[in-house]
Amino acid sequence: MKKVTDHITHWELLQIEKPARYLGGEVNQAQPKQNPELKICLVFPDLYELGMSNLAIKIFYETLNADPRLQAERAFSPWVDFEKLLRHKNLPLFSLETGTPLNQFDVIFVTLPYEMTFTNVLNLLDLGNIPLTWQERAEGPLVIAGGPSASNPLPVSLFMDAVVIGDGEEVIHEICEFLIEARKSGATREETRKKLTAIESVWVPQFPGKVRRRVYKGFADSAPPLKPVIPNVQAIHNRAALEIFRGCIKGCRFCNAGYYYRPKRERSVDNLVKYSQELLNNTGEESLGLLSLSTSDYCNLDELISRLDRNKLYAEQSISIPSMRMNENTLKLLDTAPHIRKGGLTFAPEAGTQKLRDIINKNITEEDIISVVKATNNSAYRTLKLYFMMGLPFETAEDIEGIADLVLRIEDISRTLKPRKQISISLSGFVPKPFTPFQWSPQASIEEFREKRIFVRQKLQNSKAKVSWREEYLCMLEAVLSRGDERVSKLILEAFKAGCKFDGWNEHFTRSGWEKAFEICQLDPQEYLQQKPIADPLPWDFVDFQVPRAYLEKEYRAAAEIAGVTDL
């Protein structure tokens, strides 16, 4: 088939919202190669604007295309209007670089950034004319997934030829090298899958066994993507992204990412300054985003900020720090970095009382929180957004009331500040995640979540703080998808057949489709939400996460001890 976009008229594109999402041809796009040995499509199961902000896509696109034998292209979930056009014209989903249908690639690498994209993955495969399950694929591309939501690969085991657990920088090249040799040797699809199991961190559903999380030990000395593709439409994060360190040492007991990206590995100030200049020069961006799980934890942040400021390429250049803790480093940053992009500050106290913050090991005090709020006086920061979780392990009614009390106290302080701050809070239900100390914890019911949320809103009815929240059913569903076993794969398939996709988008989430899928599969969500005895095996125990189970158990018991609970 010739380039798919040749079958779509200009008039049809004019009827589509943001048609530039589907045209390719962006600045810094990789040029097609003559007869590459392996054709790869990097797939992100959500909108172009989100995928073009995803750091993994940037890393893999640049490093794979640097190999003269490999051609890596991109595809993203089309919005509903463009999908409707493709299906109406019986056209397959295609790559942006060459308009090649997905089923004509050798391998599809799917990034799984969050669980609510799982049905989008099936939609992408369906639109690309690729059979949804690995058992049905006698030919066509191998479909390989990776990313934080693949930590427990069982929920996607029906759909993937293989799943990568952990950092992907090295393993993706090892897989490509292996696939080139497999093609040359004429290996069958089954033989190829079987041999993939020999690569560290690669788990193959057809040949399930133990697998070890991959850690990219060369991160500190590696270069970030320095010539990323410039989106045709504004990405969700409009900045040049520079990952300054990977990993976290804080040990929040609820946080899968904190354990997924361990250990902490930092790039040097010298290299980061050099990379920043090259990155800004290649992109023309005015803002440099310093990325990590919590940028204020970078050991030499003051020096880095100061040197970046002294080495500006142009006067308008600014620095964006999207993730900060309410601690002393942030206080110093607010005092010494007036050139940091101003707008809003976002923090995650997570809990309303000190006892619960100690239980979840959040490592900030109320004094820290208040100090950071006061430090914004006479600054250009005008908005303050706070994230809280409800239904945390060992939570009490006092803890829920503490959320409202803390917000009201912050609001009282903000009235004395100049300029006055607009406060907004986001409420979300706690989701127990695999490979965290709270992987054994139960999740509150939908009704309990709703009662807690209503209570907080009532306590804040006279407050001017804006309150938003995550729909309670979505919190329940995320827990099922993250703590699921092989049966959840069937659940996802049935949900897709019932019309579910873009589950993370409120306007497209179809609760009735998921309820129908639970009924068809005869699955009770409570089975995945209830307390798990520490002595019992867990579905994901076959994954060596390089964080000993004994350590996670010790941390869970430490949380319970603070709460005064002895029976686990």
Gap between the Cα atoms of 86 and 5, Å rounded = 10
Of the CA atoms within 13 Å of residue 348, those in its CB half-sphere come to 17
Task: With a cut of 70, say whether residue 162 has pLDDT above it.
Answer: yes
Task: Report yes or no: 392 and 431 within 8 Å, Cβ to Cβ.
Answer: no
CB-based contact 316:276 (threshold 8 Å): no
Tell me the mean pLDDT in the region 486-497. 98
- Pick one of 3.40.50.280, 3.40.50.300, 3.40.50.720, 3.30.920.30 as the CATH number of 4-212: 3.40.50.280
- Spatial distance between the Cα atoms of 50 and 174, rounded to a whole number of angstroms: 27
Question: Which helix (H) or strand (E) element contains residue 76?
Answer: strand 70-76
Tokens of 385: 């957004």
Predicted confidence (pLDDT) at residue 213 exceeds the cutoff of 90: yes
| Torsional class of 336: left (φ above 0), alpha (ψ -120 to 50), beta (otherwise) | alpha
Task: Look up the pTM and report it.
Answer: 0.95
Count other C-beta atoms under 10 Å from residue 468's C-beta.
10
Bridge partners of 390, per DSSP, are 429
Identical fold for domains 4-212 and 239-341, yes or no, is no
- Separation between Cα atoms, residue 521 and residue 361, nearest integer Å: 37
Residue 301, C-beta contacts closer than 8 angstroms, at least 6 positions apart:
295, 329, 333
Strands 202-203 vs 162-164: parallel, antiparallel or unpaired: antiparallel
CA atoms within 13 A on the CB side of 460: 29
485 backbone dihedrals φ, ψ, rounded to 5°: -110, -165
Q: What is the pLDDT of residue 250?
A: 87
pLDDT at 199 over 60: yes
For helices 397-414 and 446-459, the axis angle rounded to 10 degrees is 30
Average pLDDT value over all residues in the chain:
93
pLDDT in tens, 99-144: 999 999 999 999 999 999 999 999 999 999 999 999 999 999 999 9
Model confidence at 374, pLDDT cuts 50, 70, 90, reads: confident
Q: What integer pLDDT is reported at residue 178 of this predicted model? A: 97
Alpha-carbon distance of 309 to 167, in angstroms, equals 31
Sign of CA dihedral 223, 226, 232, 238: positive
- CATH number (3.40.640.10, 3.30.750.210, 2.40.50.140, 3.40.50.360) of 239-341 reads 3.30.750.210
Residue 341 pLDDT greater than 60, yes or no:
no
**Three-class secondary structure of residue 390 per DSSP:** strand
In 3-state terms, the chain is what percent helix, strand and coil (to 5)? Answer: 40, 15, 45
pLDDT tens digits for 502-511? Answer: 999 989 999 9
Q: Which stretches does DSSP call E strand in 470-513?
A: none
Q: How far is CA 398 from CA 112, 370, 443, in A?
A: 37, 20, 18
Q: Rounded to the nearest 5°, which phi and psi values hold at 177?
A: -60, -45
pLDDT in tens, 275-285: 999 999 999 88
Interatomic CA distance for residues 497 and 551, integer angstroms: 41
Give the start-to-end residue ranges of the domains of the chain. 4-212, 239-341
pLDDT, one tens digit per residue, over 411-469 is 999 888 877 888 999 999 999 999 999 999 999 999 999 999 999 999 999 999 999 99
